[in-house]
Amino acid sequence: MIQRIDAVDVAGKRVLTRVDFNVPQDNTGAITDDTRIRESLPTIESITSRGGVAILMSHLGRPKGARVGKYSLQPIAEHLQTLLPQQRVRFAHDCIGADVEAVCAEAQSGEIVLLENLRFHAEEESNDAAFSAQLARLGDVYCNDAFGTAHRAHASTAGVAEHIGTVCAGMLLDKELAYLGSALANPKRPLVSVMGGSKISGKIDVITALMDSCDTILIGGGMMFTFLAAQGHSVGSSLVEHEKLDVAREILRVAAERNVDLMLPTDTVAASAFSNDAPSQIVDATAIPDGWMGLDIGPVTTSTYAGTIRTAGTVVWNGPMGVFEFPAFAAGTKAIAEAMAQATTHGTVTIVGGGDSAAAISQFGLASHVTHVSTGGGASLEFLEGKKLPGVVALDR
Ligand code: AMP
């Protein structure tokens, strides 16, 4: 059983909380999107409003075990202070050691301490036992609210929990598990999964796992061409993973055997080069002329997929339908995002996996129009694959 932070008595306790403050910054260090910080506020407030001390820890960027100035969390502490003007936010210049312990001991009920970047120590990612024990000295309770790193067994997501008696999930992590978990375990049917992205290779396990629970799987993105090529169609110079043709054939065979309606595009927007400005034409997805590459799903496919989404009970979307970074090839992905938003208004449960599909739905301004946008790309994929996430296992007592 995993208890949630709001069920734990935190009065007078120091709650060591793993958050995901790995926010994007521009080259001056200014935060360009503080969504991840704001999403951790319910957990922080649950601790501070009930008289606890929130000791926050996170990674930022990839400093690879060294102290790198541009990856310091100090500016994040300053930003957090502006979001929570009523509460004192202290910053500790490291994440372990006597000085840090002193800062944490000094903090009063209702205050917040943000520790320096965990990844300034290589022991964080190696899940070092001694480092985990040092982190654990900072808290009476351990809380994990960082879904985006829950699929990694790091000191702050896994090792530390072994040294603290009371462990729990933060509000955001709990929400992720509730939405992603119920989407598969107890879905409102039909359950439709929309799969896209560049390659089939990163998604084989998730497609295979989804065939256990989905009624329909809609395929788009670069991966569609490996399926089409596996069926013997001409795909021009579209992205094809030749070493995965057998895997694609096997997925198609299993889908047919299990009565899963695995749909492939019937038309595609093909370009003569991988560029936004390249000449383009709409062609039959099974007969792409030589020298042309499919960079988006075509209008007929888009309308079929949108119709399937609008009549679904639950939709789980992972991966763009085309090269949405190029406006000329973003229409398919945008239409899927719009169909998800429309379906939501009619009661469909709509879930967007993290990573590129989350970036796409926010680019189109529709993130708040779906049921749930996951904050973890890799973590949501592994969860949907049915894998146990180390950061979640560590909370289960
Ligand atoms: P992934 O990281 O595997 O989810 O893939 C996301 C990337 O797939 C995005 O950057 C898209 O530009 C890319 N992508 C989507 N459709 C295509 C396509 N038809 N050809 C090449 N790349 C694509």
Q: Write down the pLDDT at residue 190.
A: 97
Residue 76 CB-half CA count within 13 A = 33
Nearest CA owner, ligand 1 atom 11:
323
Q: Looking at residues 217-237, what average pLDDT do you find?
A: 97
Instruction: Let me know if 378 is a catalytic residue.
Output: yes
Nearest CA owner, ligand 1 atom 12:
323
Q: Write down the pLDDT at residue 349.
A: 97
Cβ–Cβ under 8 Å, residues 121 and 65: yes
| Cβ–ligand 1 contact at 204 (below 6 Å) | no
- Ordered alpha helix ranges (H), 286-370: 299-310, 331-345, 356-363
Q: Write down the pLDDT at residue 377.
A: 87
pTM for this one?
Answer: 0.90
Tell me: cis bond preceding 279? Omega within 30 of 0 counts.
no
**Class for the domain spanning 187-384:** alpha beta
Nearest CA owner, ligand 1 atom 4:
197
Tokens of residue 96, six digits: 């372990």
Q: Looking at residues 232-243, what average pLDDT do you find?
A: 97
| CB-count exposure of residue 164 (10 Å: 0-12, 13-18, 19+) | buried
Query: Residue 354 above 80 pLDDT?
Result: no
Residue 40 CA from chain centroid, whole number: 15
Instruction: Let me know if 199 is a catalytic residue.
Output: yes
Query: Residue 123 above 90 pLDDT?
Result: yes
Query: Residue 388 above 80 pLDDT?
Result: yes
**Where exactly are the structural domains of the chain?**
5-174, 187-384
Shared fold status for 5-174 and 187-384: yes
Which residues lie below 8 Å from residue 281, measured CB to CB, with a gap of 6+?
A: 269, 270, 292
Instruction: Read off φ and ψ for residue 141, nearest 5 degrees.
Output: -130, 145
**Closest of 200, 187, 206, 149 to residue 350, by C-alpha:** 187
Cβ–Cβ under 8 Å, residues 217 and 263: yes
What does the pLDDT look like over 318-341, one tens digit per residue? 999 999 999 999 999 999 999 999
Which residues on adjacent β-strands are paired with residue 17? 56, 143
Per the residue annotation, which of 61, 110, 313, 378 is the catalytic one? 378
Which of 101-110, 179-188, 321-330, 340-349 comes out lowest in average pLDDT? 179-188
Query: Residue 212 above 80 pLDDT?
Result: yes
Separation of CA 236 and ligand 1 centre (Å): 17
Going by CATH, does the domain composed of 5-174 fall within 3.40.50.150? Answer: no
In the chain, the N- to C-terminal Cα span, in Å, equals 6
